[in-house]
Structure 1
Amino acid sequence: MIPAAATIAPTATDPVELVGFEGYLRVERHLAASTIAANVARARRFLAGYAPPEGAVALTAAEVTRALLDEGVTRRPVSVKAFGYTLRALLRFFFITGVTSHDLSAATLVIRSPQPSRLPVGASRDEVAALLVSCDGDTSAGLRDHAVLLLLAHLGLRAIEVARLRLDDLDWRRGEILVRGKGNRDERLPLPAEVGEAVVAYLQEARPAGVGFREVFAADRAPLRPLTREAVGGIVERACDRASLARFGAHRLRHTLGEQMVACRCLVSIIRCLRPGLIDAVQEAPQLLNVRIELTKAALGRTNLRYRCAFHEPLVLMDVSGLLQFAKM
């Protein structure tokens, strides 16, 4: 769930060109609300500070270049790059819609921010084990946190993907999970037995009864509502505290899976098949990659898929008779 602060829409005082840009990002680009809000905020700042008195119609390359140079004085390179991406999209939109007579997007400078060529640092096996052990299986919050941590660490889900997970996304008979990822991209993944059993335990023993939503994970205290991305991150941070570890975020567990795939010498194409978003985390080390995953089907999402890797148990199809009540809710 996107927090209220991230759903900023154009205000009544925004120029019509900015309102049109927001609509373009939402309708044509299908961006997430938080991404739209960030782009609109940067475009608003650019137009307010650098557009001529005549408005966007009078923009020239000089204003674009000056805006980027000024941005680099007080902000980090990564922020300047994001500002440049927004300006490029905004100026192309202006040209296509006839606001400007020339395509000024070429005036946006290429901001280079070299990053060290290394893999993101994930949590160690011992740290992941400590996080899982810290969950109290005798409490509803402990059962929920245990399931959430397994989804993050063993399937490489993002915090927002865990928060969006719905009862309808769990295919118990086929042992699969539907992940609603970035860019409105849905992915089907095999559901390892350990992860599935943890979700089952939460659904049967801890999920509040009679809630009016179909998201899997709920707050453990009033008001009862689905978890947000921030709440998932809080689960990881509190688990770090219980395990006496330095705090880190949910995304570090996603990096953990990428590291483990490299350690298993997984083929890049297999990693892309299982979790396309993880490919960036492992493609820097192609010399390490070999096939170590066994698939009984060449394509995901067709029939009973089993896979084996050094860091996962083989998929075991579970007795789902006790879970049909959730499918019919």
Structure 2
Amino acid sequence: MTNEEVFEVFLEYMRAGNLAKRTISTRLSILTQLSRHQDVPLVEVKAFHLRREIGRDDLKPASKATMRNVFMAFYTFLCEEGVITENPARRLPIVKVPPHRPRPYTQEQIDKLLSSGAYRRTRSMILLAAYQGLRAAEVAAVHSDDIDLHAGTIKIFGKGGRTDYLPLHPVIRELAASMGPGYWFPARGGRDGHIRGNSVSDLLTDARNRAGITDHRLTGHSLRHTFGTELVRGGANIRAVQELMRHSSLSTTQRYTEVLDDDRRQALDVLPGREIPATSGRVSHQQQADQ
């Protein structure tokens, strides 16, 4: 079977499983790159092709893990369908991914983001991420119909195709009252719909740079980390935080309960101070012993 023929049956399988369009697109993209990089049709791929693809130096651990999951799903499907007789992905090693630590903005940094020349549109994006925990793609798709001011809720079309109705934070309620009908961030250039999630990420990065924040580990997604971190730090119930952040696993939410850098510095402050001795004191100690 050609790559196109394999894609057609795998696409039907994924749609039948009600996978999100973004998940389907990501899987097909990874498989297309595999065939192109390794210069081999997908049905002829061997385990060493997969290991070589995952082992590329330009990939981060999380990307390697995602890639491995896609290969496992795809080649398990081909085996079960009888397209191939041996699953090459079964011989892939487990990808070790370092523990993920949240990278939140401080409240002072968020003040800088909002007051350093960002346009109203960008300021609205910052607030949605920091006060509702929205991801970039979710921010991009906010529509006036998603906001129910009477019920005090916001409808979010989230990761994995799930839809959630969550309470509005008072800051976002106030923001919503000032927004017009339709998409909050409509596409430009005569296109229908809303802007892309990548455009939101780019605008948030521009706001960070304009604010003079030099820590490049802080991204647009870090505003979502701020949301989760502040909830936990404020004493919110961890299950409630899970629901608000829409994590499928509580273990993901529990990452936000880890001790933060500021908390660790404050913990060190409880230790008593001490003068550093200029000498070892060995001579005087010996003299006292000889007396």
Asked if Structure 1 and Structure 2 have the same fold, meaning a TM-score greater than 0.5 normalized by the shorter chain, the answer is yes
Aligned twin of 1:64 = 46
Q: What is residue 3 of structure 2 aligned with on the other side? A: 14
One-letter amino acid matched to 1:167: S
Aligned to 2:150: 173
Q: How much does 1:244 deviate?
A: 2.0
Alignment deviations for residues 174-206 of structure 1 (CA, whole Å, 9 cap, x no partner): 111111101111111111222121232232xxx
Instruction: Give the TM-score taking structure 2 as reference length.
Output: 0.74
Specify which of 42, 45, 49 is matched with residue 30 of structure 2.
Answer: 42
Residues 54, 68 of structure 2: 8 Å contact kept: no
Separation in 1, partners of 2:234, 2:183: 33
Residues 242, 253 of structure 2: 8 Å contact kept: no
Work out which of the residue numbers 262, 274, 277 in structure 1 matches 2:232: 262
Return the letter of the residue paired with 1:172: L
> Residues of 1 paired with 2:4 and 2:203: CA distance?
41
Q: For 1:231, give the aligned amino acid.
A: S
Asked whether the 8 Å contact 1:64–1:108 carries over to 2, the reply is: no
Would the alpha carbon gap of residues 185 and 169 (structure 1) be closer, same or farther in structure 2, given more than 3 Å must change? same
8 Å Cα contact 1:148-1:162 kept in structure 2: yes
CA RMSD of aligned residues (A): 3.1
How far apart are residue 253 of structure 1 and its match?
A: 0.3
- 1:115 and 2:98 are equivalent in the alignment: yes
Cα-to-partner distance string for 1:31-78 (whole Å, 9 max, x where unaligned): 324x323322332454564768xx83xx5xxx5321233225433344
The alignment of Structure 1 onto Structure 2 pairs a total of residues equal to: 252
Alignment check: 8 A CA contact 2:133 2:224 kept: yes
Distance 2:191 2:71 in 1: 41
Is there any run of 5+ residues in structure 1 with no aligned partner, and where?
A: 1-12, 137-141, 208-213, 289-329
Matched AA of 1:87 = F
Contact 2:71 2:89 in 1 (8 A): no
Deviation of 1:284 (Å): 3.3
Quote the Cα distance in structure 2 between the aligned partners of 1:243 and 1:287: 28
Q: Which residue does 1:303 correspond to in 2?
A: none
Indicate which of 209, 213, 217 corresponds to 2:185: 217
Do the aligned residues in 2 keep the contact of 1:119 with 1:282 (CA within 8 Å)? no
From 209, 213, 222, the equivalent of 1:252 is 222
Deviation, 1:287, is 8.0
Q: TM-score, normalised by structure 1?
A: 0.66
Contact 2:136-2:220 at 8 Å conserved across structures: yes
> Secondary structure, in 3 states, of the residue corresponding to 1:231?
helix
Q: Say whether residues 1:23 and 2:12 are aligned partners.
A: yes
How has the CA–CA distance of structure 1 residues 107 and 64 changed in structure 2, closer, same or farther, with 3 Å as cutoff?
A: farther
CA–CA separation in structure 2 for the residues paired with 1:152 and 1:280: 21
1:216-245 deviation line (CA, Å, top 9, x unaligned): 2235x7547522212212331232233222
SS in 2 for 1:121: coil
2:173 matches 1:196: yes
Relative to 1, partners in 2 of residues 1:156 and 1:280: Cα closer, same or farther, differing over 3 Å? farther
1:274–1:74 Cα change, 3 Å? closer
Cα shift at 1:152: 0.6
Provide the residue aligned with 2:278 in structure 1.
none
Deviating runs (4+, > 3 A) in structure 1?
Answer: 44-52, 75-80, 221-225, 278-282, 284-288
Separation of aligned partners in 2, 1:15 and 1:287? 46
Distance in 2 between residues matched to 1:269 and 1:151, nearest whole Å: 21
- 1:273 is matched with 243
Query: 59, 77, 89: which is aligned to 2:73?
Result: 89
Which residue identity does 1:152 align to in structure 2? A
After the TM superposition, which of the residue ranges 268-277 and 165-174 deviates more from structure 2?
268-277
1:30 Cα shift?
A: 1.8
In the TM superposition, what whole-angstrom CA distance separates every residue of 1:276-318 from its partner, at most 9, and x where no partner exists?
2395554136588xxxxxxxxxxxxxxxxxxxxxxxxxxxxxx
- What residue ranges of structure 2 are gaps of 5+ in the alignment? 260-291
Alignment of 1:133-172 (within 5 A): 133-134=115-116, 142-172=119-149
Give the Cα separation in 1 of the matches to 2:63 and 2:122: 33
Structure 2: how far apart are the matches of 1:113 and 1:163?
32
* TM alignment of 1:226-305, pairs within 5 A: 226-246=194-214, 248-277=218-247, 279=250, 282-284=253-255
Q: State the identity %.
A: 25
1:128 shift after superposition: 0.8
In 2, the alpha carbon distance for the partners of 1:73 and 1:95 equals 24
